[in-house]
Structure 1
Amino acid sequence: MTQYKGQEHYLVAVDCIIFGFDGEHLNLLLIKRGFEPKKNKWSLMGGFVQPTEDLDGAAKRILHQLTGLKGVYLEQLKAFGQPKRDPEERTISISYFALIDINQYKEKISDTYAAEWFPLKKYPKLIFDHDKMIELAKGRLRYKASLHPILFELLPEKFTMPQLQNLYEDVYDTSFDKRNFSRKVLSTSLLVKLNDKDMSTSKKGAFYYKLNKKQYTENFHSFLKFIPNPDHLL
C-alpha cells in the first residue's frame, strides 16, 4: 500500500431521489435530517457506503431502510464531489433515482425518518446540493421516459388511461391531446384492457388497464415516440 502513502481519505455517500405518483401528480419523498449539520432540514434519503458494499448495494439498502421496498426501478445518476458540498467533512455522493408505486407501498414507509411526500413542482429547499440532484434526475427521467416505458414503474397494478396521461403530462409539464395520447399508447401493445371501470371521476367511468408484462420486458428498449426529439431532454 506504499503507493497510496500521503493520499487523503474521503467519505463516500449515496443519495436517493425517490419518485412516486399518486394518480394525479408526480411526487418526491423527502426526510427531515436527524443530525448536524443541517439537522431538521429537508433532505434526500442518503447514507454512507459501508466497507462491504458496492454502490448499488448501498443504494438498495438505503432505499429499503426508508420504504421497505426491494426490487424497484433504481438507476445511478451522477457523482457529486465539490470540495465544500458538505461543511462537516469532504464527502463524495453518488446520486440514484428510484421509481415506486405510492399506492402499493405507502403503508411500508418508515416513520423513523419523518418522511413526507411533496409534489415535484412544489417542494421545500433542501440541504447541500440536493436540489441540483433533483433537477438532474428530472431531466434524466424525461429523457428515459421518451425512449423506454419506465413510467409504468410508478403505476399500480391496474390504472386508467386518464391516470396514465396525468403521469406523462406531469413529468413533461405539458398537455397531450386525449385521443392522440390513447392511440399512441395502445399502439405499443403494452396495455391489456380490463372489464371493470373506475367510477370515481365520472358517471361514464374509465376502463382500467394493466401492463402486459411480457410485452413490457420484450420491448423495453423500443422507442415509444411519445415525446419528439428526446436528445434535447438530457
Structure 2
Amino acid sequence: MVPRIPVSVDLVVLTVRCQQLSALVWRRDRPPYEGRWALSGGFIQLEEDLPAAAARVLAERAGLPGAPVHLEQLRTYGYPDRDPRQRVVSVAYLGLAPDLPAPTEAHMSWQPVSSLQTMAFDHRRIVLDGIERAGAKLEYTSLGAAFCPAEFTVADLRRVYEIVWGRALDPRNFHRKVTKADGFLVPTGRTTTRDGGRPAMLYRRGPAELLHPPMLRLAG
C-alpha cells in the first residue's frame, strides 16, 4: 500500500515595520518545538488548489482576510525529517505587504527577521529563502512598491530597498534609477512634507511588472 503523505502550505509574510524587515509568526504552545516562533500554515483540503489554500491560511491562520498582500509560490520542502511527528511536504508561499497593523489574534506577532534565529521545524530556512527571494524580486520587478502604501515618496521606496537588501543606497542615484525605470512609478501630482524639509513628490505604483533597466544590488 502506497503511504499517503500530507501536504501543507506555510506562509512567509514579510513587511517593513518600524524600519525593520519583519515576518508574521506565532509562538507555538504545544510540542514539538513548544515556545518557538513558527510560520502560519495549514494542511491543504481535498477540494483546494494551492493558491486557494494559501489564501485561506492567510485569512484564517494569519488573520489577514482581504489584506493587500502579494502572494507567490516560493518553494516546496519535502525532506523526510522536517517534521518529527510524520512525513509532511510543505509548499511555501511568500507574501509581501505594506506596513500592516498588529494582528488581532493574540498568538500572532510581527517579529524582526533578525530576531528569528531559532524557529520551529525548518521555518528559519523557509524565512531565509523568502528574504532572498524578496531581495531578488526587488532587482527585476516592481514589487518593492508592494511594501509601500498606495501613495509614497521615492525616499519611502528607498528605505524599503535599504531594509530588504541590508545596505545603504545613494539617494540621488536611487531617485534617478527608479524615476527612469519604464512604468515603475506614476506621479500623483501631490506632495508631502511629512518627513520635514522640502515638499516631496508623491507617487503610486505604475503598471510595469518587470523593471527596465533593473535595480541591481551590486550596482551601487
Q: TM-score range by the shorter chain?
A: 0.7 to 0.9
Distance 2:6 2:78 in 1: 10
RMSD: 2.2
Higher helix share: 1
Report how far residue 170 of structure 1 moved. Answer: 1.3
Off by >6 Å, runs of 4+ in structure 1 = none
Amino acid at match of 2:214: K
1:163 aligns with 2:156: yes
Please state whether the residue corresponding to 2:101 is helix, strand or coil: helix
1:101–1:154 CA contact under 8 A, matched in 2:
yes
Distance 2:12 2:47 in 1: 23
1:135 aligns with 2:137: no
Report how far residue 52 of structure 1 moved. Answer: 1.1
Please state whether the residue corresponding to 1:69 is helix, strand or coil: coil
1:69 aligns with 2:66: yes
- Structure 1: where are the runs of 5+ without partners? 1-5
Amino acid at match of 1:142: G
Aligned pair count?
Answer: 215
Distance 2:25 2:199 in 1: 32
When residues 133 and 206 of structure 1 are mapped into structure 2, their CA distance, relative to the original with a 3 A threshold, is farther
Alignment deviations for residues 122-179 of structure 1 (CA, whole Å, 9 cap, x no partner): 3341111111111111111122211111111111112222221111011111121111
Q: Which residue of 2 aligns with 1:29?
A: 24
Amino acid at match of 1:174: R
Q: Which residue of 1 aligns with 2:78?
A: 81
1:106 aligns with 2:95: no
1:49 aligns with 2:25: no
Q: Among the aligned pairs, what percent are the same residue?
A: 26
The TM-score normalised by the length of structure 1 is 0.83
Alignment deviations for residues 30-76 of structure 1 (CA, whole Å, 9 cap, x no partner): 11124432233210111111111111111110011222235631111
1:12 aligns with 2:1: no
Distance 2:39 2:179 in 1: 36
Please state whether the residue corresponding to 1:159 is helix, strand or coil: coil
Distance 1:129 1:62 in 2: 18
The equivalent position to 2:33 in structure 1, one of 7, 29, 38, is 38
Distance 1:70 1:165 in 2: 23
Distance 1:163 1:12 in 2: 39
1:60 aligns with 2:20: no
When residues 45 and 121 of structure 1 are mapped into structure 2, their CA distance, relative to the original with a 3 A threshold, is same
Matches within 5 A, 1:217-232: 217=207, 219-227=208-216
When residues 120 and 181 of structure 1 are mapped into structure 2, their CA distance, relative to the original with a 3 A threshold, is same
Report how far residue 205 of structure 1 moved. Answer: 4.6
2:76–2:92 CA contact under 8 A, matched in 1:
yes
